[in-house]
A = this chain, B = another copy of it.
Amino acid sequence: MKLSESEENYIKSIYNLQEKTEKVNTNSLANFLNTSPASITDMLKKLKIKKLLEYKKYYGFRLNEAGNNEALKIIRRHRLWEYFLVTKLGMEWEKVHDIAEELEHVSSPDLINKLDIYLGKPKIDPHGDPIPDEKGKIIELKQKALKNWPLKRNAIVSSVSNQTPEMMEMLNHYGIAIGSQIKILKAFEFDGSLQIKIARNPDCIISGQAAKNIFVYDN
């Protein structure tokens, strides 16, 4: 299926939001993409016509199987390019996202498969996210960044990727350590910050930055 750059961006974003919630709603997608809710509705109609979306007016939407497959192709391209930028060009993993965002729209399957082979068919990208293979299959990670964890689901802290003294100090302060029980109570879309509950301590708020660096797995 031939998709415009814009359609691809919507599909990818819906896919990403679906990781956290069953059904996606207009406002959260508008917020995520920095567009108006009206634009979202417009695009939803198009994607529904293209049969990539389950969408009932006023009641939210989600990708159907075809939509999911398209999303996985886009994500595969994105993550392979990120891997390339970090491992071959020596860019820092915090800085490659925007460039991969552009490269991902170049959609020649031959290019992507050759790139995949050249990179040694990596399974995980520099941010710790899995890279779909040519069939769209992704390895199941027990471990995920806390920022990608669903709301209100218990987890155990498995690792911390940015082990600076400042980071460790903060974790200490909140009583977060490897093995801690953790649960997200609320996610603020505005800045990615999270209200969390650690073991039996009182609730606390951590930044989106911190939430990218704390990894957890199922309880």
Contact check, B106 vs A91: say whether CB atoms are below 8 A apart.
no
Which residue of B85, B110, B111 is within 8 Å of A111 (Cβ)?
A: B85
Contact check, B89 vs A114: say whether CB atoms are below 8 A apart.
yes
Q: Is A202 an interface residue (CB 8 A)?
A: no
Q: CA A203 – CA B70 in complex, angstroms?
A: 54
Q: Give the distance to chain B from A26, nearest Cβ to Cβ, in Å.
A: 28
Contact check, B90 vs A114: say whether CB atoms are below 8 A apart.
yes
Known: A103-B106, A106-B102. A118 touches B88 (CB 8 A): yes
Q: Give the distance to chain B from A17, nearest Cβ to Cβ, in Å.
A: 25
Q: Is A6 an interface residue (CB 8 A)?
A: no
In the complex, besides A90-B114, A91-B111, 15 extra interface pairs with C-beta distance below 8 angstroms are A85-B111, A89-B111, A89-B114, A89-B115, A89-B118, A91-B114, A98-B108, A99-B108, A99-B111, A102-B105, A102-B106, A102-B108, A103-B103, A103-B106, A106-B106
Chain B positions within 8 Å of A114 at CB level: 89-91
Chain B positions within 8 Å of A98 at CB level: 108
Closest residue to A103 on the B side, CB-wise? B106
Q: Give the distance to chain B from A94, nearest Cβ to Cβ, in Å.
A: 13
Chain B positions within 8 Å of A115 at CB level: 89
Q: Give the distance to chain B from A57, nearest Cβ to Cβ, in Å.
A: 34
Q: CA A89 – CA B110 in complex, angstroms?
A: 10
Q: CA A115 – CA B85 in complex, angstroms?
A: 9
Chain B positions within 8 Å of A110 at CB level: 91
Chain B positions within 8 Å of A85 at CB level: 111
Q: CA A111 – CA B106 in complex, angstroms?
A: 16
Q: CA A91 – CA B85 in complex, angstroms?
A: 20
